[in-house]
């Protein structure tokens, strides 16, 4: 299926219930879906080189419009070939719109129907972000996919607040789409609605009717109960447009990903694998491993016997624990590489299971194993 923007296409190759696997083509990359996008907030996936990120199987990453707008500046990035030229990432890139900062930087902004006024978290200077400005910045950043500006309400917000966020997001989407598209840049719309199913469905219909190349679900994993998110995804996911990529924004435990894949989601991003790595937590086929625990002091076994990444085939748990206890920077680097490799492997296996028609049994068995062997209280399986 050719998407509205020239040079982009999306095709589905197999279904298993509501789950599907396919290929999202951009001018820079061919992305097999379901796919996980590592987060490179400031034109870097923390602790890793672009070559290391690519070695995990990733062919698209995410960069943050708000942060690059403030530092080093979109114009400077544009002079150096956009984000991909600036950071030397040779594959596809998606940029968010800055809308998530409406939620995460609430103390530093004011919002009205026209846009958002931020006080920089760096130096306190004032900046104005409108739907039009968000598209201008992302054109300068040169991403393959630009997200329209949206308003992301806090999880559990009153229905009236969610309705206001939907109205603003709809208006901002239409305004952003009126800005001429940058060459080689697709644009995705964002559906809001919290965990209010009727609002989600109504907004989905509104956004899907617009000339967008893909449809994203925003406003999840912002404080709502995980079980409520799963329930809404089960309703909404299968009803998203079949002919365009479906993207679940900012959600990402292994359980989240596998459950959302079963609902028909194609694309994901989350800081969790690299953030947890910096704190000494590995994500494995046997659940989470806390390398700071004393049990790993003398353990010469691999971090994950089922993983073929260079970390697992080279280093022992004992050595990895030593790096964290000694506060050596190699520890977070190696664990970040492993965690992203694991997420890439999880996506590849999910695609295989969809093609084989075995996603459901495999997901149940995989999550049961992760839950049973998990080292940290609170596994969501």
Q: Which residues contact 229 (CB under 8 A, 6 or more apart)?
A: 195, 220, 221, 251, 256
Annotated active-site residue 269? The verdict is yes
- Which residues, in sequence order, are bridge partners of residue 25? 9, 30
CA distance 223 to 211: 31
- Tell me how far the alpha carbon of residue 341 is from its chain's centroid: 15
Catalytic residue among 16, 144, 150, 269, which? 269
Q: Is 165 exposed, middle or buried (0-12, 13-18, 19+ CB in 10 A)?
A: buried
- What phi and psi values does residue 33 have, to the nearest 5 degrees? -120, 150
Cis peptide before 72 (omega within 30 of 0): yes
239-271 in b/e burial notation, b at 16+ Cβ within 10 A? Answer: ebbeebbbbbbbbbbbbbbbbbbbbbbbbbbbb
Determine whether 96 is an active site residue.
yes
**CA 24, 102, 163, 223: dihedral to nearest 10 degrees?**
80
Q: How far is CA 102 from CA 108, 145, 151, 305, in A?
A: 9, 20, 6, 42
What is the distance between the alpha carbons of residues 288 and 317, in angstroms, rounded to a whole number? 13
Give the Cβ contact number of residue 100 at 10 Å.
21
From the list 280, 325, 337, the residue with the least C-alpha distance to 298 is 325
DSSP 169-192: HHHHHHHHHHSPPPTT-EEEEEE-
The whole-angstrom separation of Cα 30 and Cα 24 is 6
The tokens for 211 are 């000339």
- The C-alpha atoms of residue 217 and residue 268 are separated, in whole angstroms, by 10
DSSP state of 95: E
Question: Which one from 96, 256, 266, 304 is the annotated catalytic residue?
Answer: 96
Residues annotated catalytic, as ranges = 96, 269
């Amino acid at each position: 299926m050719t998407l509205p923007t020239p040079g982009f296409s999306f095709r589905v190759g197999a279904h298993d219930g509501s789950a599907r696997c396919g290929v999202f083509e951009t001018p820079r990359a061919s992305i097999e879906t379901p796919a996980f996008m590592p987060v490179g907030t400031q034109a870097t996936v923390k602790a890793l080189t672009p070559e290391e990120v690519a070695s995990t199987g990733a062919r698209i990453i995410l960069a943050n419009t708000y942060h690059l707008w403030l530092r080093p500046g979109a114009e400077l990035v544009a002079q150096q070939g956009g984000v991909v030229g600036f950071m030397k990432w040779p594959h596809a890139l998606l940029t968010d719109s800055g809308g998530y900062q409406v939620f995460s930087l609430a103390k530093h902004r004011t919002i009205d129907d026209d846009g958002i006024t931020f006080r920089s978290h760096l130096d306190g200077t004032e900046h104005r972000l409108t739907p039009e400005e968000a598209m201008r910045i992302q054109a300068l950043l040169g991403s393959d996919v630009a997200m329209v500006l949206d308003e992301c309400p806090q999880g559990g917000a009153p229905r009236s607040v969610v309705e206001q966020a939907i109205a603003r997001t709809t208006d901002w989407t239409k305004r952003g789409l009126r800005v001429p598209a940058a060459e080689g840049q697709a644009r995705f719309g964002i559906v809001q609605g919290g965990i209010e199913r009727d609002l989600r469905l109504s907004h989905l219909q509104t956004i899907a009717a617009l000339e967008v190349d893909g449809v994203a679900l925003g406003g999840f994993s912002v404080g709502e109960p995980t079980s409520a998110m799963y329930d809404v995804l089960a309703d909404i996911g299968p009803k998203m447009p079949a002919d365009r990529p479906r993207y679940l924004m900012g959600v990402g435990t292994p359980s989240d990903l596998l459950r959302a894949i079963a609902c028909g989601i194609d694309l994901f991003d989350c800081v969790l694998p690299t953030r947890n790595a910096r704190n000494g937590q590995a994500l494995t086929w046997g659940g989470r491993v806390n390398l700071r625990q004393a049990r790993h002091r003398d353990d010469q076994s691999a971090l994950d016997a089922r993983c073929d990444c260079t970390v697992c085939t080279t280093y022992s748990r004992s050595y990895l624990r030593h790096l964290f206890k000694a506060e050596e920077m190699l520890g977070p680097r190696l664990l970040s590489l492993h965690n992203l490799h694991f997420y890439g492997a999880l996506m590849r296996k999910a695609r295989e299971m969809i093609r084989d028609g075995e996603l459901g049994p495999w997901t149940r068995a995989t999550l049961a194993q992760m839950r049973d062997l998990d080292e940290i209280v609170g596994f969501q399986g």
